Amino acid sequence: MNLSKKAIGFFFLLGFFILCFFLTKMDAIKSFSDFSLFEWQTHLATQGKLYLPYTHSSLDPEYQFFPLPNLFFHLTKNNAHATFPNLYPILMSPLYLLFGVYGIQVAQFVLFLISIWIFFQTTKNEVLTLFLFFSSSIVLYIFLVHDTILVFFIEILVLFFYQKEKPFLTSLLTVIVIWMRPEMGFVFCFLPFLFPHSIPWKKYFFLCSVLFLLFALINFIFYHSFLPLRFLKNSQSQWNPEVGIYLLRLVWQQIPIFILFIFFLIWEWFHQTKNYLHIFLVCTTILVCFVSPNTGGHDTPRYLYGFIPLYLLSMENKNKKLTIHPVIVTFFLLLMSIYFTYGLHSQFKTLAKISKYQSNTLSEIASLKEKTIVVNNSDLSFILLPLLTQNKDILLLREEVSNSGFVNFLTKNQIPEFVFVEIPPSPYPIPDSLVSEDCQNHCIYQKRESNPLPNALLPISISRYLRSF
């Protein structure tokens, strides 16, 4: 697969300017969902904190009202630790301190471009590198506070060092990536097949096993668990085939290189050049879709991005002498670049719309005079995480906590008033009167008023409660 230097230069400049254009528009995107958690972790890292602080930890040791769903934190010695590893917050914290979120976006933009360059150094093939550039919706994460681009960068480094026969560096980076993203273990199992003349597979897997054991021991010292926290938390989820179907649909829509890989596989079979590695890659991709504990959120197939370089490398390894007419290569690159731009534009519009609603909600709730804000919806709690840095107290109601347990918590912490924020239909409503059975003076929290949240774009209601004796 060859192209002229002019065509190669055109497509690289096209991709670069597309990313630069969207980079200038990212002021419209604010953190939400687990992006808010990553941003909070990064903010805490600038203060030297690698845990999630909780004002009421002494009187609520089980963190029943901690403002995050149980899936996103792990308790160790009465401290909450995010299930997302701290590597990303630590690395990004200097940029966040100096330049805010925009500094992180620019850094991830540079990391992505470096990843593309390193992939070219690995393959020495400009066409495959261009296909990697336009391969999927992963570029969306350049503009978001999330570790996806960092994981992609380290994965490309693993491929580079494996080819250069650097066993220790390869194994170390492999373990780091799998510790951050356990699903990447499926990806790295293919390395000995992609680079059969590099590091011996027994040596690679032995070094990985030793380093895994070391990481597990260190993890146990800090978190009382031999397993990565993300794997530990997600291991409790129940298998749901609908998740696999949903992820397969996202792969089909947002990873066009996978479709091209399927066409390439069919072409091989028609020409009686069967490649079982390609079949295993397709089957493993489908397997990861169906064993994933959840969709990953964000309406993107982020669990599957790690397979993209493998599709390209396997096509190159098997068909080094394959000649495809430059017109056909140009056609597919042009088609993918158009689809790439259209997809990025559509996702940007969706994110901007979500961000608009959530920024409005955050701004209006921040203007409430009450210090204590109670929610019963985890989406709302993620939106309100930035308020923790503004001397606000966010509490999340959970299904297993009774109203009496909640009011006992309020009285123990001497909270005189709070505002209850909810989006109907409310999963766990609060009655008009909350009575504490353990309070000697028969303490009651009485609802004073209930109104829609002023100037809110979403149907959010607020109820004010005041403690009386």
Q: Where are the domains of the chain?
A: 5-30+100-352, 359-468
pTM of the model: 0.93
> In sequence order, what are the beta bridge partners of 374?
395, 420
Angle of CA points 222, 225, 231, to nearest 5°: 115
Residues 6+ apart with CB under 8 A from 186: 284, 287, 288, 306
CA nearest to 93, candidates 47, 51, 54, 53: 47
For the stretch 184-202, what's the b/e string if a residue is b when 16 or more beta carbons lie within 10 angstroms of its beta carbon?
A: bbbbbebbbbbbeebbeee
Say whether pLDDT at 26 is over 60: yes
> Parallel, antiparallel, or unpaired: how do β-strands 372-375 and 417-422 relate?
parallel
* Helix/strand/coil for 317: helix
What would you report as the CA-atom Rg of the chain, rounded to the nearest whole angstrom? Answer: 25
Q: What is the mean pLDDT of residues 198-222?
A: 94
Say whether pLDDT at 313 is over 80: yes
Burial of 69 (0-12, 13-18, 19+ CB in 10 A): middle
Neighbours of 370 (CB within 10 A): 20
**Using an 8 Å Cβ cutoff, are 93 and 45 in contact?**
yes
pLDDT of res. 176: 96
How many angstroms separate the Cα of 229 from the Cα of each of 138, 193, 235, 236? 24, 30, 10, 12
Which amino acid is residue 312, in one-letter code?
A: L
pLDDT of res. 319: 54
Residues 6+ apart with CB under 8 A from 400: 64
> pLDDT tens digits for 370-415?
999 999 888 889 889 989 988 899 999 987 677 778 888 888 888 8
Q: How far apart are CA 459 and CA 456, in angstroms?
A: 7
Residue 400: both structure tokens together: 């297993």
pLDDT of res. 431: 86
> Parallel, antiparallel, or unpaired: how do β-strands 417-422 and 393-396 relate?
unpaired
pLDDT band at 234 (very low <50, low <70, confident <90, very high): confident
Neighbours of 266 (CB within 10 A): 10
> pLDDT tens digits for 314-357?
887 655 555 677 888 888 899 999 999 999 989 888 888 888 88
